[in-house]
């Protein structure tokens, strides 16, 4: 008999839970899991079954076990091989194997590729930060110029008021 993975056991327990109505739905006919209220699901359900309340981590686990989102607008998931029930298809719900690098040569290439990607990312970040700093300096100078102009205008307005009051006073 196959051992049921902990995630699948917890998923089954969640959909069997009577208090989930309105938050999660398991459609036995179409084998579709629908999370109706992700916020409530994260707060009221996830912490009781997992060591987290992170909805995206739960979705990642669903994906690792072969469930895929079937509606771009809703949180609806279907397993690619599950055709009967979530409770009877334990042998088809298995965690996907991660690709492992066979030898040190490939491992070194992979590490070098990652290092190069990081270097490119760092260069891009430096360019963006430089542009942001340039914009800040440019706007700072513009603001300083505007403040000077406002001061000059306020002195001019003051002088005009003094001159108008002298003319009216005569």
- pLDDT tens profile 86-132: 555 555 566 566 555 455 555 666 777 778 788 888 888 888 788 88
pTM passes above 0.75: no
Domain ranges of the chain: 6-79, 99-170
Place of tokens 């340039």: 134
- 78 by DSSP, 3-state: which? strand
pLDDT for 69: 92
- pLDDT tens profile 4-45: 888 888 988 898 888 888 999 988 888 889 999 999 999 989
Q: Comparing 155 with 83, which gets the higher pLDDT?
A: 155
CATH class for the region spanning 6-79: mainly alpha
Whole-angstrom Cα distance, residue 89 to residue 91? Answer: 6
Among residues 78, 80, 68, 74, the alpha carbon closest in space to that of 41 is found at 74
> Apex CA 32: angle with CA 27 and CA 38, to 5°?
100
Q: What is the mean pLDDT of residues 66-83?
A: 84
- 23 by DSSP, 3-state: which? coil
């Amino acid at each position: 008999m196959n051992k049921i993975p902990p995630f699948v056991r917890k998923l089954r327990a969640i959909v069997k839970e009577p208090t989930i109505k309105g938050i999660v739905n398991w459609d036995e006919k179409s084998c579709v899991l629908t999370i109706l209220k992700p916020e409530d699901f994260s707060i009221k359900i996830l912490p009781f079954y997992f060591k987290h309340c992170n909805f995206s981590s739960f979705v990642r686990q669903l994906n690792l076990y072969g469930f895929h989102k079937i509606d771009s607008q809703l949180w609806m998931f279907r397993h690619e091989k599950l055709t009967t029930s979530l409770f009877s298809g334990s042998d088809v719900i298995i965690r996907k194997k991660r690709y492992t690098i066979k030898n040190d040569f490939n491992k070194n290439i992979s590490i070098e590729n990652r290092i190069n990607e990081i270097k490119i990312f760092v260069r891009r970040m430096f360019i963006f930060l430089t542009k942001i700093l340039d914009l800040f300096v440019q706007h700072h100078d513009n603001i300083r110029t505007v403040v000077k102009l406002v001061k000059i205008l306020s002195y001019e307005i003051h002088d005009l008021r003094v001159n108008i009051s002298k003319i009216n006073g005569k």
